[in-house]
Structure 1
Amino acid sequence: MHVGPGSGVPTGLSDPGTTTRLMNVRAYTEGDAETWDAYVRSHPSGTVFHLLTWSDAVRQAYGHRAVHLTAWSDGRLAGVLPLFEIKSLLAGRFLVSVPYATYGGILADSDEAARALLEAAKDLSRAFGAKYLELRHREPNNLDLPEIDRYDTFRKMLPQSPEEVLPSLPRKTRAAARNGIKALGEDAVEIGPEWLDTVYDLYAVTLRRLGSPNYSRRLFHGLRERYGDDCVCLVVRENGSPLAGVVSFVFRDEIVPYFSGCLDEGTPKRANNVMYLRLMEYAVGRGLRWFDFNRTRRDNLGPHKFKQYHGFEPAPLHYQFYLNGAARMPNLSPSNPGYALAGRVWRRLPLWLTRPAGARITKWVP
């Protein structure tokens, strides 16, 4: 069931609406669902996270309240803003677009529509008593909002055929992938929905090793159920035992590897190199043209370099904020020095504790 009635958007916003010149902004309703997703799929800056599918899974897994906004011009949809209200024990109440996603924010046909959506979102922030509004834009814009300068994303076009993927990689990365295939075998990779829980377990182990809480298993299952064949589960095994895995999402002509994990023993065997090589080959074989290696903090040097070694160039992300009650822009990321001790403790806790605890903690850190 799509986000809509019962989402908690103040009725004053949807009737009579917020109007800027000929632009009318109102709350999303279920009747907008088909038009919304068609708009996202056709918009040049649309992402897999702007689809209502993502919102539905988030709401089911975590119970956050959706307060999506739409902009209309002469009866035609001119912009969308997927938006959630978060009540966090760590950061108080805030609005974010989009939770548990690396991209989000406003999609609009014009600066006028974008600004109308922004003003409506600010109104919601004030009405809810939210400390801040966070918009996770991938591209720069003209909204004139303060930004955090912390994350890069990595995107690149794929070759024309699966056979061209390995030769297209930089020399050292190509050698690492070949060494991994030699160590693990040509048939080390399996792809299919039956591997979802395996990837989740690898992901949870990896997040504990990094000192970060994992997302809910229920989110993984909700996304898989809703995205169907556009949710791709891949694992790398050695003698039948999983070493590494990744859950990816397909949107238009690109694939987005999103949740991943690798056991310690997989690192010297280049399991990650094999995993991403085979994922790229799969994507090309499926007719996809882009590989979105996704977000990485600049101070997270290992993953940042790993993506560059695959021939991807970093591009800054534009996470923007409207501060309603907060004195400064928040930092709920692992780079926050205040979380350093918690991270060290987390690494020492048993997995039977961190896995369910992480699923609860991440309700407050979306």
Structure 2
Amino acid sequence: MDSSMPNLMNKAELSKAFFQAPQQWLAQHSLSALSVDVNPHLLAREQALQEKGSYKVKTGKLSREIGALKKAGQPAESLIAEMKGYKSSLKDVEATIAEAEAAITALLAPQLQPKPSNNTPKPEQQLAQRDIDYSALQVELLTAALKPACEQYLQQSPRATLYHQPGWCGLIEQSFSHKPHYYVAHMGGEVVGVLPLIHLKSRLFGAFAVSMPYFNYGGPIGETEQVCEALVAAASQQAANSKLSHIEYRCLQPLAKHPGHQDKISMWLGLPSASEQLWQALGAKVRAQVNKAKPHGFTVHIGGAELLDDFYQVFAINMRDLGTPVYAKSFFQNILASHIGKANIVLLKNSLGQPVSASFLLGHKQQLEVPWASTLKKENRTNANMLLYWSMLQFACEQGYKVFDFGRSSVDASTYKFKKQWGAKPVQLHWHYWLAEGGALPQLNPNNPKYKMVIWAWQRLPVWLTKILGPHIVKSLP
């Protein structure tokens, strides 16, 4: 870092230099890798700022109304009580803004110090005030002896997602019979990075590996770029020895030395502490769409395994309609039984008690994700899907989550626009590859033209048949 760079930790200066264009600022100072850590706090701050503006308008209006009543000699107690409520909420929102800005400042502060002298360790050489001795760095597969240190590292690392948990590799092996390889970088037992990897093999697509299949996140995480590269090197050597065609790393941070693409984004929404605040922050159009579902007599149910049959009924029909093979119900049973993440099912039933819309939620730390959500096509006219998503967001606020993850989209696709209307912001996904010599980037996705005929045919199969055939096919689709 250039020693001439100004110290931007003064709050006013940080507001000018950073909050006006956060992502551009991070890129300008070569700190784009920090965006994944900063984004949840940015989203929380932005949401709170919107609420603050709303409360300011309301208190201003009430203040004028109270003044008019007092001038006319009329009682204003009810409005004064309402004003006190808004002012209390305004204080909570301002506290949320202050907390978010403090968290962002804490993340940026170590990167904005003057360049250290030659006898001071550089930031990238430090780990919890200790040097990383790269000559002592080892990468090996997870052992029972390393597991406690690994779990401690994952608990403390802000970059560790649910899918970096060792148990998630075991869950995928249990559900799909794929071989997991969990790499750990450590110095004498002190874990400084991990890489979960799943080997897939099928007649359709050959042999390859993904970190992590079926989900949006995975890839190597480590205290420094060198640690991540050491993990990738170990995985690449194993892939070459096993004659794999490629490895796909699904990362929230770029791996600059490896080919890849940035075709996909995740959509994240910062959450307030109360769902009432979020409701007020939503646009009038979204609120109206949610309200249109209410006269149809839907009931909302939130739970676990007791709702799985109804969830799977809706999910299987929707996947068939999309032309996508469906997972086996046992996959979801295994997730619910594992307790690795906080899993919940949200279900809407119509007035006849029939399931019509459903989602499967996974919570980890301060973030709640919806990997799967489905609504029957015949219910599109009832806006059931809007009520489903509002029910999920309401539940997220009530459970104290700070970020809601709407899942993966392509920019400007219909799913992107749907998520954007709720206030969600894009978070760039970086998918990188190791390729066998002479290999090309894989195209295992529904947009590949050669799969269009298969999708067309699948959409015309009876649902009962897709439940039988789907699990055997989808296990090889990462």
Q: Which residue of 2 aligns with 1:9?
A: none
Superposition pairs for residues 277-316 of structure 1, below 5 Å? 277-298=390-411, 301-316=413-428
Q: Which residue of 2 aligns with 1:155?
A: 268
Tell me the secondary structure at the aligned position of residue 222 of structure 1.
helix
Distance 1:357 1:134 in 2: 26
Tell me the secondary structure at the aligned position of residue 58 of structure 1.
helix
Q: What's the CA shift for 1:315?
A: 2.5
Structure whose alpha-carbon radius of gyration is higher: 2
Partner of residue 179 from structure 1, selected from 258, 279, 292: 292
Given that 1:130 and 1:325 are in contact with CA atoms closer than 8 Å, whether structure 2 keeps it comes out as no
**Amino acid in the other structure paired with 2:310:** T
Aligned: 1:242 with 2:339 = no
Q: Which residue of 1 aligns with 2:153?
A: 39
1:261-307 per-position Cα deviation (integer Å, ceiling 9, x unaligned)? 110122111111111111111111111111011112347x2212111
Superposition pairs for residues 188-337 of structure 1, below 5 Å? 188-193=299-304, 194-227=306-339, 230-239=342-351, 240-298=353-411, 301-325=413-437, 327-337=439-449
Given that 1:147 and 1:318 are in contact with CA atoms closer than 8 Å, whether structure 2 keeps it comes out as yes
Q: What's the CA shift for 1:34?
A: 3.4
Q: What's the CA shift for 1:327?
A: 2.4
Distance 1:31 1:284 in 2: 38
Superposition pairs for residues 16-27 of structure 1, below 5 Å? 21-27=135-141
Given that 1:151 and 1:297 are in contact with CA atoms closer than 8 Å, whether structure 2 keeps it comes out as yes
Given that 1:199 and 1:260 are in contact with CA atoms closer than 8 Å, whether structure 2 keeps it comes out as no
Partner of residue 71 from structure 1, selected from 144, 166, 185: 185
Given that 1:159 and 1:168 are in contact with CA atoms closer than 8 Å, whether structure 2 keeps it comes out as no
Tell me the secondary structure at the aligned position of residue 129 of structure 1.
coil
Distance 1:83 1:133 in 2: 9
Q: Which residue of 1 aligns with 2:118?
A: none
Q: Which residue of 1 aligns with 2:456?
A: 344
**Amino acid in the other structure paired with 2:285:** K
**Runs (5+) with no aligned partner, structure 1:** 1-18
**Amino acid in the other structure paired with 2:295:** K
Q: Which residue of 1 aligns with 2:218?
A: 104
Distance 2:167 2:302 in 1: 22
1:20-40 per-position Cα deviation (integer Å, ceiling 9, x unaligned)? 622100111233333333322
Aligned: 1:83 with 2:194 = no
Superposition pairs for residues 51-70 of structure 1, below 5 Å? 51-70=165-184
Given that 2:341 and 2:364 are in contact with CA atoms closer than 8 Å, whether structure 1 keeps it comes out as no
Q: What's the CA shift for 1:216?
A: 1.9
Q: What's the CA shift for 1:128?
A: 0.6
Given that 1:132 and 1:326 are in contact with CA atoms closer than 8 Å, whether structure 2 keeps it comes out as no
Distance 2:437 2:469 in 1: 29
Q: What's the CA shift for 1:97?
A: 0.5
Tell me the secondary structure at the aligned position of residue 81 of structure 1.
strand
Distance 1:326 1:202 in 2: 43
Q: What's the CA shift for 1:141?
A: 4.1
Distance 1:363 1:326 in 2: 26
Moved more, 330-339 or 301-310: 301-310
Partner of residue 48 from structure 1, selected from 153, 159, 162: 162
Distance 1:73 1:352 in 2: 52
Relative to its length, the structure with more strand (as a share) is 1
Identity of aligned residues (%): 28
Tell me the secondary structure at the aligned position of residue 178 of structure 1.
helix
- CA 1:182–1:132 in structure 2 vs 1: closer, same or farther (change >3 Å)? same
Distance 1:30 1:50 in 2: 17
Q: What's the CA shift for 1:260?
A: 1.7
Q: Which residue of 1 aligns with 2:466?
A: 354
Q: What's the CA shift for 1:45?
A: 1.4
Tell me the secondary structure at the aligned position of residue 138 of structure 2.
strand
Given that 1:20 and 1:116 are in contact with CA atoms closer than 8 Å, whether structure 2 keeps it comes out as no
Distance 1:141 1:327 in 2: 19
Aligned length: 344
Q: What's the CA shift for 1:115?
A: 0.8
Q: Which residue of 1 aligns with 2:237?
A: 123
Relative to its length, the structure with more helix (as a share) is 2
Given that 1:293 and 1:307 are in contact with CA atoms closer than 8 Å, whether structure 2 keeps it comes out as yes
1:229-283 per-position Cα deviation (integer Å, ceiling 9, x unaligned)? 8101110111111110001011001111112211012211111111111111111
Distance 1:247 1:53 in 2: 19
Give the aligned CA root-mean-square deviation in angstroms: 1.7
Distance 1:141 1:133 in 2: 13
**Runs (5+) with no aligned partner, structure 2:** 1-132
Distance 1:31 1:280 in 2: 40
Q: What's the CA shift for 1:326?
A: 5.7
